[in-house]
Amino acid sequence: MPKEGVALAGDVIFRECTLVGWTGTDEKWLKSLDLIISLDPKVIVPGHRPVCGIEGAIDMKAYLEYVGEESKRCFERGLTL
């Protein structure tokens, strides 16, 4: 809803809860977050938990990048699940 400054993010953004990624890739998830951030919405309606502002997309992106970096670091060290 661009005129209203509202982005309906669905399951791209999770707030205050553990996220679940059933399908897709991290790359596509990050691209989707970049798109939402580029829209600069006043309000984001996530798929799970409370309504937020642009910080919801920024925080979610930072979290996914952190998990990706840590996973890669652990994999490179030969750690198992």
Q: What is the pLDDT of residues 6-64, one digit of tens each?
A: 999 988 998 887 777 777 788 999 999 999 999 999 999 998 889 999 999 999 999 99
DSSP letter at 56 equals: H
Q: Mean of the pLDDT values across residues 57-74?
A: 94
Global confidence as pTM: 0.85
- pLDDT value, residue 49: 85
CA angle 51, 41, 62 (to 5 degrees): 70
Cβ atoms of residues 37 and 9 within 8 Å: no
Q: In sequence order, what are the residues at sequence separation of 6 or more whose Cβ sits closer than 8 angstroms to the Cβ of residue 9?
A: 36, 44, 45, 46, 47, 56, 57
- pLDDT value, residue 25: 85
Least Cα distance to 15 among 53, 49, 54 occurs for: 49
